[in-house]
Amino acid sequence: MGKRIIISGGGTGGHVYPAIAIADALKQADATTEILFVGAEGKMEMDKVPEAGYPIEGLWISGIQRRLTMDNLMFPFKLISSIWKAFSIIRQFKPDAVVGVGGYASGPIMYAANQAGIPTLIQEQNGYAGLTNKLLASKASAICVAYPDMQKYFPEDRIHFTGNPVRKDITELEKLREEAFDHFGLSSSRKTVLVIGGSLGALTVNESIAKNVDTLLEKGYQLIWQTGKYYSDRFQQEFAHREPEGLKVMPFIRRMDYAYACADVVVSRAGALSISELCLTGKPSILIPSPNVAEDHQTKNALALEKEEAAVMVKDTAAREQLGEVLMRLLEDEQQQKQLQQAILKLAKPKAAQEIAEVIIQLPTK
């Protein structure tokens, strides 16, 4: 008889997709494992998890806004409601372990599990531990991390350096190279820049690239540019109608394996999932951390790579002025590209999901 596991959290793709990867790895290790997800009502996990074939329960929970809003006034009621429902879920499902991957929903269900004496595992995806995970860590049975030196946040004897689970389709990119260039209608003989600011988009990244598109194309470089859905109309109207050779502007890239296969250099935000993918693909990268995230964790992620000389960081406030120069310099410097590639590959953890699943399986029973 397999174990019964609750996986909690979500809110963004950076939480949801690793959670599904962990669930898949648990099922691969033992097909009789029963898995229940717990997410936040109205968030993307409520759609993505059932699409992946797993049941999910929703909690009436949200984060605290930085300004006075109705959501903030409702937060105490949402929290009490979510904790009450979390205890009910624990009683009914009777899990052998509860896994928290971050996001609004992980707090109540992890708290309820701790109170019930059920083993818990925290999967911390960033180089800086969030407040919820720091509060939950004292009672966690195990903590899986994606960055070294996390003992400053968590008890060292419970840390497992597993990395972050990522999509399976971004390995062995060299085999896809010609097919990928055909897909985008680009030339395999020209250096290509991939720009990814997240599925919603990043205004700083988009405006910084827009300033340098003509120069990049004039110098013979190609550009695959994901604007994100919020900024698609603006930048597609500005550039796509011209259809210059070597420029592909789109709101969302569905075949990221093809995009990575084409890329010589990547410009990206510094979310945990993006960085884990960059480590696995070994792409020389320029990271522009978003300042609009909890506890500025993207800057901590980028600094962790910069410390290992595995990526170049450009601050969000400086990107509009500096990105063009930094990008051109990197494109022209083959030696720096190789150094960045070698360093970032050392941080890759291709079997992260399987390693996390193994830690979960080995958790003590209640």
Is-contact 59 105, C-beta < 8 A? Answer: yes
* Length of the chain, in residues: 366
Tell whether residue 329 is among the known ligand binding residues: no
206 is in an annotated binding site: no
Nearest to 21 by CA among 243, 300, 349, 338: 349
Query: Taking a C-beta distance cutoff of 8 angstroms, is the pair 137, 120 a contact?
Result: no
Q: Is 199 annotated as a binding residue?
A: yes
For residue 192, the cross-strand partners are 222
Decide: 129 and 153 in contact? Cβ < 8 Å. yes
CA angle 6, 8, 10 (to 5 degrees): 150
Task: Judge whether 324 is annotated as a binding position.
Answer: no
Any known ligand binding at 282?
Answer: no
Check: CB of residue 29 under 8 Å from CB of residue 361: yes
How far is 41 from 104, CA to CA, in rounded Å? 10
Contact 54, 23 (CB under 8 A): yes
Rounded to 10°, the helix 319-332/334-345 angle is 100
What is the number of other CB atoms lying within 10 angstroms of the CB of residue 36?
Answer: 21
Q: Is 12 annotated as a binding residue?
A: yes
- In whole angstroms, how far apart are CA 300 and each of 56, 174, 195, 248, 273? 31, 31, 21, 31, 14
Our CA dihedral for 102, 105, 108, 109, rounded to 10 degrees, sits at: -80
By the 8 A CB rule, do 249 and 138 touch?
no
Annotated binding-site residue? 362: no
Please report where in the chains the tokens 């708290």 appear, as a residue: 111
The answer to whether 14 is annotated as binding is yes
Residues of each annotated binding site for UDP-N-acetyl-alpha-D-glucosamine: 12-14, 126, 167, 199, 253, 298
Q: Which residues are annotated as a binding site?
A: 12-14, 126, 167, 199, 253, 298
